[in-house]
Amino acid sequence: MADFRVLTERSTLLTVLGTLITAILGVLLLYIAANSKAWAGAESWQTVIRDIGSLLVVSVAVAGLWELFGKRAFRDELLAKAQLAQDVRTAGLVKITDSFLRDVDWDPVFRNVNKLDIFFAYG
What is the reported pLDDT for 4? 59
Query: How far apart (Å, rounded) are the C-alpha atoms in residues 84 and 80?
Result: 6
Does 79 fall in a domain?
yes
Could you give the number of structural domains in the chain?
1
User: pLDDT tens digits, residue range 7-60?
Assistant: 677 777 888 888 889 889 999 999 998 887 777 788 888 899 999 999 999 988
**Quick one: average pLDDT of 83-97?**
72
Does 41 fall in a domain?
yes
Does 101 fall in a domain?
no
Closest Cα to residue 2, out of 94, 110, 122? 94
Does 105 fall in a domain?
no
Does 112 fall in a domain?
no
Query: How far apart (Å, rounded) are the C-alpha atoms in residues 91 and 105?
Result: 19
Does 63 fall in a domain?
yes
What is the reported pLDDT for 24? 92
Query: Half-sphere exposure (CA, 13 Å, Cβ side) for 68?
Result: 14
The overall average pLDDT reported for the chain is: 80
What is the reported pLDDT for 6? 65
Range of the domain at 8: 2-94
Q: What is the dihedral of CA 50, 52, 57, 61, to 10 degrees?
A: 150
DSSP 39: G
